[in-house]
């Protein structure tokens, strides 16, 4: 589950809007202008659909939207839609924990001897997603902390394992500060 990259979404919107803006006034009713306008609308909608993963992304997205006339001159302004576009996905950590539980249970059911295999890989990937999920609210931090306190296996991972070239504890702690994975 990979969220769209905010920088790519901004670049796509900027490019689509520039192409639409380049259409001469005399050609605004042309099929090409309509196509370019539709592309700009799709890019704008993708920005609205994106949920920031960190407070830094909230700032970047806010700055872009405030500097772009497609948002400042928004004819069908919808305050609720704007707030939603700048709000992190509130179900993020809970959904990841639920996925972790499902993968763990599937692994335990299919491989009671703990021999590894695809179920183990899916279980490990789900655990990694929970470990590195960037907390954006106090509720995220509390949910994540409670999960690791109550789950001996996941706690053991952050306490005793390495991920890449560093101990797993470090990406976990950075995630509590709202930092996205490196």
**What residue has token string 């907390």?**
135
Q: Taking 50 as the threshold, does the pLDDT of residue 158 lie above it?
A: yes
For residue range 64-109, list pLDDT tens digits in order: 988 887 777 766 667 777 887 887 665 589 989 999 999 999 888 8
Q: What is the pTM of this model?
A: 0.52
Domain positions in the chain are 6-85, 92-176
Question: Residue 2's pLDDT is what?
Answer: 47
Task: For residue range 130-156, list pLDDT tens digits in order.
Answer: 999 988 888 889 999 999 999 999 999
Query: What is the model's pLDDT at position 84?
Result: 78
d(CA 15, CA 178): 30
Run of H or E including 164: none
pLDDT at 82: 80
> For the residues of 30-72, what is the DSSP string, one character each?
SHHHHHHHHHHHHHHHHHHH---SSHHHHHHHHHHHHH-HHHH
- Mean pLDDT along residues 16-44: 90
């Amino acid at each position: 589950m990979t969220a769209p990259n905010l920088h790519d979404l901004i670049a796509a919107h900027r490019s689509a809007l520039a192409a639409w803006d380049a259409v001469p006034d005399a050609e605004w009713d042309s099929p090409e202008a309509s196509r370019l306008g539709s592309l700009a609308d799709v890019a704008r909608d993708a920005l609205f659909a994106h949920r920031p993963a960190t407070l830094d992304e909230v700032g970047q997205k806010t700055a872009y939207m405030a500097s772009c006339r497609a948002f400042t001159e928004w004819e069908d302004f919808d305050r609720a839609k704007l707030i939603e576009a700048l709000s992190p996905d509130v179900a993020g950590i809970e959904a990841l924990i639920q996925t972790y539980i499902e993968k763990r249970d599937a692994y335990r059911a299919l491989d009671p001897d703990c021999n590894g295999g695809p179920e183990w890989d899916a279980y490990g990937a789900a655990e990694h997603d929970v470990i590195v999920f960037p907390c954006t609210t106090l509720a995220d931090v509390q949910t994540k902390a409670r999960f690791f306190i109550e789950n001996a296996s996941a706690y053991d991972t952050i306490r005793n394992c390495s991920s890449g070239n560093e101990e797993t504890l470090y990406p976990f702690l950075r995630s509590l500060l709202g930092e996205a994975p490196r």
